[in-house]
């Protein structure tokens, strides 16, 4: 199929040939075929001029009416010519006629004589090998009918254009019909443009044309049907055309553009008052009242385009796109212009679906538009009762936003429906008038509150909303209606739920109260402030409906005409004077009842009575009977509880007596239970028995002398008391002389099982920094010194006799060199304060000529003279914690060149062999092998802390790893 770009190129080549002769033919109503047509005096007929003209010629048509010849059908244009009408036969050869297209009228029917068939007005037809170029100016084509035309029947009642680049300037195409044969489809009531390029410009008018005048055939393009390239500009009007006036479907009341080769460009033109289907009883589908762009067609609507007052259907069928329909893989680019006041369905009786009052875009097609220059508003999807979707636009690319009329508030947005891109921002400003400045604006978007994005002062607010769905705005002044909680009104249900409700200040708020039938005689009382609100209706004596005008904020209070006293069932052990759990009391009255204790065990336990959650004391009592008188001011909830707990007292153990008889005691909850224990064994003086309550120790609250102990416990639960009187002996040994004082004094002490034995030791002043070791039975304990330098210690949980010994000590820690032997092991020692710590040392045999260095707490210690066998004796007084370092300095330089170095470093065993690879074996003092490997250079072996024998080559050392 030939593309439009190819048509343009071929046409351009045809009209660029040099030396082409150009002639002008003159046509008048009175011309004859035998004339030459070279002047008005020699005028010819239009058919003769078209037959004689060559490419490049001009045909000038005088004013008047011209009818096609019945035998020939439509006027045929097959050459590249210019046809101009409107001449008054006075113009010279170069003169232009007046701009009056109605002066020259070309009819598509022969002179009415009652015979013959009506034909199309003009057919402009080139060939695929000869693309022609035609211009038609200043004339009218009317009365044409393409039904029976010889070429392309049913297509183009006024003009059929094929294989041509045609321009219409100041042309009126009006009152034509593509087909009146009810069984066939019809294309282009005014114009059918196929495989051609058509431009309509300079105040041209395409109006009152019908594609299909009758029958069931489908109709496409009431004004124009296009499958080529169509440009509409220059103040052209496409007006009051109809695609289908019969019972068939209709597409494109103004323009129908279809096919992958179809292109449509509209600017500075009006498409107005067209209908795709105009038959109130027709039930077929209609699409595109103004424009139907479909089947892969490409369309652009640019500056100055107005699509207005078009209707997809006036019938009973489905209507898509009152202004524009874009479907089936097509593309619509709306750069600038206005789509307004269009309707998809304009029939009150229509119940079918309507989509897109302004624009309908299906999910297969592309829609783009510049929403700052292209406007879609005030359209209607349906005037009927069927489903309506997309008032202004139906598209996955856009949504419809309805902006309403607002009283006492002005806005910078027009009151209409706006089309907004999906994800676009819709903004507007609202200003409250001066008489309502104290009112609060209420803006609802689809019933959801929208808060201002900016306050501009003086009652002016700006709002913004991101559009992701169709939106209907509601704007008014705000009122807040508060419905109360009614937990103290049993049997009543409030609808809606209690809470705050935001409503319009000029609206109506409704709510209802429903009561259970058993509350007969109790009526709700509803007030707003001091004003009584009466029910707007009562249903079945149980449902009360209320309605109030929301002129201002309202805080609703709900009570009843009679107060309700709700008594809970009495617990076991109590009885009521009445067995009715629910009692009615008149307003502002008193209500009395009596509680009787029925179980002697609880005779002296006071019942707990809670009135609306507040504890209430009886107004009188008599031997287990309690009288209550309540002042009733509203709904009253009375909860009756009998709070008591049992206290179980055991038999007293040996050596202890109790002032309570063993057994169970029922006690008022949260009251105190008191008892006394007396120790009867004289050697247990000042030693309290061990008492546990539910397994937890209970300390005595008071003491009388050395043997009587007072106890008190609060009864918050059932209690089991346990008393232990078994005792144990603690033998406390005399401390060393370094202790200045000890409490208690050394000796033998007795204590009850489960109690603690506590003692205190204070060192002499010169030994305040010494540590304490306590041996208690099989346990060794090191207490922490307190701030005064003493030690306080408690031995808890003792259940047997025990001996306790305590002594002070200082810590002495020895760190010898790896080349030093000692008569004691390295490590930590405990030394009694005031004594001496004595040990011997000597270097290894190969280092006997070096005097060891002894560093004590950072100071060098003077060694005693060496003994005959090489040993040095060290004697240190124990007056504080001591750290001893023993070294051969400088050790690194003292090793023989080939000696193996073995030492402890960083918690590991380190071995250095400068003489090459040597075998290394590490064992414990008990001979257990811990490591065996070969070492060359420096090697670090990870070992647990301890003392090891290391054999490295011919060297054997004893090493302490810390």
Residues 757 and 798 sit within 8 Å (Cβ to Cβ): yes
CA nearest to 657, candidates 681, 686, 685: 681
Contact between residue 846 and residue 801 where contact means Cβ atoms under 8 Å apart: no
Confidence of residue 750 (pLDDT cuts 50, 70, 90): confident
pLDDT interval class at 623 (50, 70, 90): confident
Taking residue 563's Cβ as centre, other Cβ atoms within 10 Å add up to 21
| Residue 19 in tokens | 């030396």
Q: Is 434 helix (H, G, I), strand (E, B) or coil?
A: helix
3-state SS class at 684: helix
pLDDT at 466 over 60: yes
Express as a percent the part of the chain with pLDDT over 90. Answer: 41
Say whether pLDDT at 97 is over 60.
Answer: yes
- 457 pLDDT higher than 90: no
Q: What is the pLDDT of residue 817?
A: 80
- The angle at the Cα of 793, spanning 792 to 795, to the nearest 5 degrees, equals 160
Average pLDDT over residues 555-570: 81
Q: Please give the structure tokens belonging to residue 907.
A: 């918690």
Alpha-carbon distance 683 to 640, whole Å?
53
Residue 343 main-chain phi, psi, to 5 deg: -140, 130
β-pairing, 955-961 with 946-952?
antiparallel
Lookup: tokens for 157: 């009642």
Cβ contacts of 12 within 8 Å, gap of 6 or more: none
CA 278, chain centre distance (Å):
49
Tokens coding 325: 């329909």
Write down the pLDDT at residue 131: 96
Residue by residue, DSSP assigns 103-170 as GEEEESSPSPSS-S----SEEEE--SS--EEEEEES-EEES-B-TT-SSSTTB-SSEEEESEEEEEES
Contact 655, 681 (CB under 8 A): yes
So what's the pLDDT on residue 262?
98
- Would you say 682 and 655 are in contact if contact means Cβ atoms under 8 Å apart? no
- Average pLDDT of the chain? 86
Position 123 scores a pLDDT of: 96
pLDDT at 144 over 90: yes
pLDDT at 894: 39
**894 three-class SS:** helix
Count of C-beta atoms within a 10 Å radius of residue 560: 23
pLDDT band at 192 (very low <50, low <70, confident <90, very high): very high
Q: Is 0.85 surpassed by the pTM of this model? A: no
Max mean pLDDT range (519-523, 642-646, 726-730):
642-646
Residue 430 has pLDDT above 70, yes or no: yes
Mind listing the pLDDT tens digit for each residue in 600-610? 777 778 888 89
| pLDDT greater at residue 263 or residue 827 | 263
pLDDT tens per residue across span 817-853:
878 888 999 888 989 888 889 988 888 887 877 888 8
**Amino acid 117: pLDDT:** 67
> Locate tokens 């006041």: which residue?
341
Q: Are the C-beta atoms of residues 399 and 470 closer than 8 Å to each other? A: yes
pLDDT, tens digit (0-9, with 9 covering 90-100), for 359-408: 999 989 999 888 889 999 999 999 989 988 888 888 877 888 888 888 88
Q: Are 322 and 253 in contact (CB under 8 A)?
A: no
Determine the straight-line distance between the first and last CA of the chain, rounded to whole angstroms: 98
- Which residue did the predictor score with more confidence, 925 or 336? 336
Measured CA to CA in angstroms, residue 419 lies from 343, 372, 392, 469 at distances of 15, 11, 6, 11
Provide the strand spans (E) within 816-858: 820-822, 827-831, 836-843, 853-856
Q: What is the DSSP letter of 349?
A: T
User: Is the peptide bond prior to 797 cis by the omega test (within 30 degrees of 0)?
Assistant: no
Residue 2: which pLDDT band, with cuts at 50, 70 and 90?
very low
DSSP 383: S
CA–CA gap between residue 425 and residue 186 (Å, rounded): 43
Name the band, by pLDDT with cuts 50, 70 and 90, for residue 1: very low
The phi, psi pair for 601, rounded to 5°, reads -60, -30
The pLDDT value recorded for residue 891 is 41
Percent of the chain exceeding pLDDT 70 equals: 93
Q: Are strands 625-632 and 620-622 parallel, antiparallel or unpaired?
A: antiparallel
CA-to-CA dists, residue 479 to 439, 442, 503, 550, 555, angstroms: 9, 8, 5, 6, 11
Confidence of residue 487 (pLDDT cuts 50, 70, 90): low
pLDDT of residue 59: 97
How many whole angstroms separate alpha carbon 98 and alpha carbon 64? 14
DSSP letter (8 states) at residue 403: -
Which pLDDT value is given to residue 328?
95
Q: Write down the pLDDT at residue 6.
A: 40
- Residues 474 and 447: beta-carbon distance below 8 Å: yes
Mean pLDDT of 444-452: 91
Sequence-ordered list of residues with C-beta below 8 angstroms from that of 795, at least 6 positions apart, any chain: 730, 756, 757, 758, 776, 802, 804
Name the token pair of 723: 């008393």
Average pLDDT score over residue span 720-725: 86
Q: What is the pLDDT of residue 939?
A: 85
Q: Is the dihedral of CA 13, 19, 20, 25 positive or negative?
A: positive
Token readout for 825 is: 């092991």
Q: Residue 489: what pLDDT?
A: 59
d(CA 288, CA 359): 8
pLDDT score for 235: 98
The confidence band for 4, taking pLDDT boundaries of 50, 70 and 90, is very low
pLDDT at 336 over 60: yes
- Rounded-to-integer distance, Cα 421 and Cα 368, Å: 9
Higher-pLDDT residue of 766, 240: 240
Contacts of 271 (CB under 8 A, 6+ apart): 237, 238, 239, 254, 255, 290, 291, 305, 306, 307, 308, 310
Mean pLDDT of all residues in 651-655 = 87
d(CA 287, CA 361): 11
Six-digit token pair at 539? 């249903």
Mean pLDDT of 429-450: 88
Strands, sheet with 757-763, edge to edge from the N-terminal-most edge strand: 739-743, 757-763, 791-795
The Cβ of residue 410 has, within 10 Å, a number of other Cβ atoms equal to 12
Indicate whether 731 pLDDT > 60: yes
For residue 520, give both structure tokens: 């007969």
pLDDT in tens, 694-717: 988 888 999 999 899 999 999 889
Q: Whole-angstrom Cα distance, residue 552 to residue 543?
A: 26
What would the two tokens of residue 175 be? 């009152």
Q: Rounded to whole angstroms, how far apart are CA atoms 140 and 561? A: 87
What own/partner pairs with CB < 8 Å and gap ≥ 24 does 913-921 have?
913/937, 913/939, 913/952, 913/953, 915/953, 918/952, 918/953, 919/951, 919/952, 919/953, 920/950, 920/951, 920/952, 920/953, 921/950, 921/951
Q: What is the DSSP letter of 175?
A: S
Distance CA 563, CA 544 (A): 18
Residues 205-229 have a mean pLDDT of 94
Please, which pLDDT band fits residue 585 given cuts at 50, 70 and 90? low
Tokens of 929: 């092998």
In angstroms, the CA 250 to CA 222 distance is 9
766 vs 227, residue with greater confidence: 227
From 608, 615, 624, 544, select the one nearest 570 (Cα to Cα).
Answer: 608
Q: Pick the more confident residue, 132 or 423.
A: 132
Q: DSSP states of 34-75 as a string?
A: TS--SSGGG-B-HHHHHHH--TT-EEEEESEEEE--TTT-SE
> Is 196 in contact with 163 (CB distance < 8 Å)?
yes
Residue 167: per-residue pLDDT = 99
So what's the pLDDT on residue 428? 92
Query: Most confidently modeled of 291-300, 501-510, 526-535, 897-906?
Result: 291-300
Structure tokens at 515: 């009561």
């Amino acid at each position: 199929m030939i593309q439009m770009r190819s048509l343009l190129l071929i046409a351009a080549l045809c009209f660029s040939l040099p030396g082409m002769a150009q002639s002008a033919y003159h046509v008048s109503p009175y011309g004859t075929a035998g004339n030459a047509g070279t002047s008005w005096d020699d005028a010819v007929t239009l058919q003769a001029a078209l037959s004689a003209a060559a490419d490049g010629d001009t045909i000038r048509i005088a004013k008047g009416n011209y009818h096609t010849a019945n035998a020939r059908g439509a006027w045929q244009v097959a050459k590249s010519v210019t046809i101009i009408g409107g001449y008054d036969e006075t113009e010279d050869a170069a003169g232009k006629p007046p701009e009056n297209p109605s002066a020259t009228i070309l009819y598509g029917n022969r002179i009415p004589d009652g015979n013959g068939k009506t034909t199309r007005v003009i057919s402009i037809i080139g060939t695929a090998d000869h693309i022609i170029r035609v211009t038609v100016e200043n004339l009218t084509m009317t009365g044409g009918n393409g039904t029976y035309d010889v070429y392309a029947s049913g297509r183009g009642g006024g003009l059929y254009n094929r294989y041509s680049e045609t321009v219409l300037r100041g042309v009126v195409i009006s009152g034509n019909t593509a087909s009146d044969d009810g069984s066939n489809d019809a294309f282009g009531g005014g114009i059918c443009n196929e495989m051609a390029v058509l431009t309509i410009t300079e105040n041209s008018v395409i109006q009152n044309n019908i594609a299909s005048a009758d029958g069931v055939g489908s109709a496409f393009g009431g004004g124009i049907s296009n499958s080529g390239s169509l440009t509409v500009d220059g103040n052209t009007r496409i007006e009051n055309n109809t695609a289908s006036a019969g019972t068939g479907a209709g597409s494109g009341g103004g323009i129908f553009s279809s096919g992958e080769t179809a292109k449509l460009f509209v600017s500075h033109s009006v498409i107005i008052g067209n209908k795709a289907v105009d038959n109130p009883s027709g039930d077929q589908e209609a699409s595109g009242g103004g424009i139907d762009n479909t089947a892969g067609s490409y369309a652009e609507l640019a500056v100055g385009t107005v699509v207005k007052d078009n209707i997809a259907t006036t019938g009973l069928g489905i209507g898509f796109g009152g202004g524009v329909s874009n479907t089936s893989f097509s593309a619509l680019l709306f750069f600038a212009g206005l789509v307004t006041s269009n309707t998809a369905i304009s029939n009150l009786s229509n119940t079918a679906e309507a989509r897109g009052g302004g624009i309908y875009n299906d999910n297969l097609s592309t829609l783009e538009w510049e929403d700052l220059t292209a406007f879609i508003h005030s359209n209607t999807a349906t005037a009927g009762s069927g489903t309506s979707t997309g008032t202004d636009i139906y598209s996955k690319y856009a949504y419809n936003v309805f902006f309403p009329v607002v009283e006492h508030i002005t806005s910078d947005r027009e009151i209409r429906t706006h089309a907004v891109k999906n994800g676009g921002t819709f903004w507007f400003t609202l200003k409250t008038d001066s008489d309502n400045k104290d009112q609060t604006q209420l803006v609802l978007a689809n019933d959801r509150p929208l808060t201002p994005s900016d306050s501009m002062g003086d009652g002016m607010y700006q709002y913004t909303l991101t559009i992701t769905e169709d939106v209907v705005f509601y704007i008014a002044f705000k009122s807040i209606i508060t419905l109360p909680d009614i937990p103290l009104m049993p049997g009543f249900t409030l609808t809606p739920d209690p809470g705050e409700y935001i409503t319009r200040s000029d609206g109506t708020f409704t709510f209802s109260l429903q009561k259970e039938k058993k509350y007969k005689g109790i009526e709700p009382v509803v007030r707003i402030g001091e004003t009584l609100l009466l029910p707007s209706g009562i249903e079945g004596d149980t449902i009360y409906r209320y309605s109030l005008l929301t002129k201002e904020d309202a805080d609703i209070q709900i009570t009843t005409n009679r107060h309700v006293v709700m008594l809970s069932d009495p617990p076991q052990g109590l009885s009521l004077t009445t067995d009715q759990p629910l009692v009615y009391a008149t307003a502002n009255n008193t209500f009395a009842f009596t509680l009787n204790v029925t179980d002697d065990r609880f005779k002296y336990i006071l019942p707990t009575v809670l009135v609306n959650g507040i504890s209430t004391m009886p107004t009188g009592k008599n031997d287990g009977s309690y009288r209550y008188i309540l002042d009733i001011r509203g709904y009253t909830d009375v909860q009756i509880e009998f709070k008591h707990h049992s206290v179980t007292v055991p038999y007293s153990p040996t050596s202890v007596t109790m002032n309570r008889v063993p057994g169970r005691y029922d006690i008022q909850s949260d009251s105190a239970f008191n008892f006394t224990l007396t120790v009867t064994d004289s050697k247990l003086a000042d030693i309290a028995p061990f008492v546990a309550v539910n397994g937890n120790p209970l300390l005595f609250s008071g003491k009388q002398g050395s043997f009587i102990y007072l106890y008190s416990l609060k009864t918050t639960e059932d209690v089991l008391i346990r008393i232990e009187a078994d005792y144990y002996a603690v033998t406390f040994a005399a401390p060393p002389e370094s202790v200045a004082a000890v409490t208690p004094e050394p000796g033998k002490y007795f204590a009850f099982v489960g109690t603690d034995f506590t003692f205190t030791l204070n060192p002499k002043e010169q030994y305040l920094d010494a540590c304490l070791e306590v041996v208690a039975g099989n346990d060794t304990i090191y207490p922490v010194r307190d701030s005064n330098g003493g030690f306080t210690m408690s031995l808890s949980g003792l259940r047997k006799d025990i001996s306790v010994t305590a002594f002070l000590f200082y810590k002495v820690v020895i760190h010898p060199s790896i080349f030093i032997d000692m008569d004691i092991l390295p490590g930590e020692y405990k030394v009694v304060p005031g004594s001496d710590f004595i040990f011997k040392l000597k270097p290894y045999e190969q280092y006997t000529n070096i005097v060891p260095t002894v560093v004590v707490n950072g100071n060098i210690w003077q060694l005693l003279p060496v003994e005959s066998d090489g040993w040095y004796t060290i004697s240190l007084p124990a007056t504080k914690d001591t750290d001893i370092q023993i070294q051969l300095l400088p050790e690194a330089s003292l090793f023989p060149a080939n000696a193996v170095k073995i030492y402890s470093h960083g918690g590991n065993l380190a071995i250095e062999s400068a003489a090459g690879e040597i075998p290394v074996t590490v064992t414990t003092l008990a001979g257990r092998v811990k490591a065996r490997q070969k070492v060359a250079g420096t090697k670090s072996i990870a070992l647990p802390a301890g003392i090891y024998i290391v054999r490295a080559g011919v060297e054997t050392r004893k090493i302490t790893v810390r």
